[in-house]
């Protein structure tokens, strides 16, 4: 039987009971596969790698070594949440690497989007590889492959994703959720006790804020983007829009306009809000955000974020606009 094919008889996991049964089954399978050997996992904090981490911690505890690489392009609080949940709450064997300077130094002055993606993806592999080679006795590599990745394995996602690992890594793979769809991964994650803020996360591109800090990334503009994005997320959470909007974020272009603040000329960047709905990310429509909320977000961002003096709402559907700005 092709182990990469989901059996037609496999029940869709929709309830905590079905999730519990799946977890028991996978815990046994992982134990049988791994024995007393060590497993390495690149833990980005995204839904798939987080669920795999929680599942493997349950199965093999400290035999799992998680490596979280902070490329400096995470959203506000993300790396902190990975440490809090996995190290502090689940007592995982977690190696945290703050590689912010490495990434931002390499990206300095680079404005072509695909070049930025290549640098981020390439450097991620390098950092992970360096870390892996310091560890001894690793026999397996765990991955958060899910069923759509297998169905779409035309290389698109592999190209796209920062999590892509070097092909010459000589490890046997552990992929416990590879036959699951995203909604099932979320149900399993909840049953494993992961916080809703982790398992219900909106999609977030591998190159992170790197493709939202448009053009050549600078630390000050990246910080402004991160703070503005945190305000947008907080306000969407408070308004319940996190449950209905598929993806929402801020992009900050590399341009300034004039404004006034405290009776003085204040030049700043615009923060562009994008909030879209879609089923497959191939086309997308624009969410109708209440004006009162847009005014509130505008007031907060312009008052609280250093360097931002305007807030814009992008009304462009896909096509013609892609979801990301670059
Ligand atoms: P676009 O901008 O192509 O985005 O309409 C469609 C979906 O793909 C995500 N996206 C990426 N995801 N690496 C990723 O892992 C990337 O380089 C990348 N670029 C876009 C985007 O966030 C949206 O969900």
Superfamily of domain 16-199: HUPs (3.40.50.620)
In this prediction, residue 169 carries a pLDDT of 65
* 281 Cβ inside 6 Å of ligand 1: yes
In this prediction, residue 2 carries a pLDDT of 83
In this prediction, residue 158 carries a pLDDT of 44
Q: Which residues of the chain form beta strands (DSSP E)?
A: 38-42, 64-70, 93-98, 138-142, 172-174, 247-251, 260-261, 264-265, 269-277, 285-286, 308-313
Q: What does the alpha-carbon distance between residue 180 and residue 147 come to, in Å, rounded to a whole number?
A: 5
- CATH number 3.30.300.10 is the correct assignment for the domain at 212-313: yes
How does DSSP classify residue 201?
Answer: P
- Taking CA atoms only, the protein residue closest to ligand 1 atom 7 is 281
In this prediction, residue 11 carries a pLDDT of 96
Which residues of the chain register pLDDT less than 70?
A: 1, 154-169
Domain boundaries, the chain: 16-199, 212-313
Q: What does the alpha-carbon distance between residue 63 and residue 56 come to, in Å, rounded to a whole number?
A: 9
Atom of ligand 1 nearest to the CA of 322: 5
- Using the mean position of ligand 1's atoms as its centre, give its distance from the Cα of residue 324 in Å: 6
- Using the mean position of ligand 1's atoms as its centre, give its distance from the Cα of residue 205 in Å: 5
In this prediction, residue 155 carries a pLDDT of 45
Q: What does the alpha-carbon distance between residue 230 and residue 77 come to, in Å, rounded to a whole number?
A: 9
Atom of ligand 1 nearest to the CA of 325: 2
* 163 Cβ inside 6 Å of ligand 1: no
- Using the mean position of ligand 1's atoms as its centre, give its distance from the Cα of residue 326 in Å: 9
- Taking CA atoms only, the protein residue closest to ligand 1 atom 18 is 205
pLDDT in tens, 155-197: 444 444 444 555 566 789 999 999 999 999 999 999 999 999 9
Q: What does the alpha-carbon distance between residue 42 and residue 125 come to, in Å, rounded to a whole number?
A: 10
In this prediction, residue 156 carries a pLDDT of 44
Per-residue tokens: 151: 């169905």
Residue of 281, 285, 316, 317 with the most ligand 1 atoms within 8 Å of its CB, for mutation: 281
In this prediction, residue 153 carries a pLDDT of 73
């Amino acid at each position: 039987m092709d182990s990469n094919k989901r059996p037609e008889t496999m029940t869709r996991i929709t309830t905590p009971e079905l999730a519990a049964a799946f977890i028991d089954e996978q815990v046994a399978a992982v134990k049988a596969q791994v024995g007393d050997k060590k497993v390495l996992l690149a833990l980005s904090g995204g839904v798939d790698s987080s669920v795999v981490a929680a599942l493997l911690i349950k199965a093999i505890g400290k035999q799992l070594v998680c490596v979280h690489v902070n490329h400096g392009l995470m959203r506000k609080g993300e790396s902190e949440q990975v440490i809090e949940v996995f190290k502090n709450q689940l007592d995982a064997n977690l190696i945290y690497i703050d590689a912010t300077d490495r990434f931002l130094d390499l990206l300095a002055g680079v404005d072509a989007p695909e070049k930025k993606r290549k640098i981020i993806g390439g450097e991620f592999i390098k950092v992970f590889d360096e870390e892996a080679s310091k560890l001894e006795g690793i026999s397996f590599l765990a991955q958060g492959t899910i069923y759509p990745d297998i169905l779409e394995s035309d290389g698109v996602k592999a190209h796209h994703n920062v999590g892509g690992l070097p092909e010459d890594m000589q490890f046997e793979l552990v992929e416990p959720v590879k036959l699951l769809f995203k909604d099932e991964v979320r149900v399993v994650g909840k049953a494993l006790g992961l916080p809703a803020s982790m398992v219900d996360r909106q999609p977030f591109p591998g190159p992170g804020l790197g493709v939202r800090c448009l053009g050549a990334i600078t630390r000050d503009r990246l910080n402004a983007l991160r703070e503005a994005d945190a305000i947008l997320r907080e306000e969407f959470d408070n308004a319940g829009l996190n449950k209905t909007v598929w993806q929402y974020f801020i992009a900050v272009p590399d341009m300034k306009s004039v404004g006034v603040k405290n009776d003085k000329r204040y030049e700043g960047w615009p923060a562009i809000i994008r909030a879209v709905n879609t089923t497959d990310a191939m086309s997308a429509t624009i969410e109708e955000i209440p004006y009162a909320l847009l005014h509130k977000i505008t007031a907060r961002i312009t008052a609280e974020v250093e360097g931002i003096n305007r807030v814009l709402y992008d009304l462009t559907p896909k096509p013609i606009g892609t979801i990301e700005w670059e």
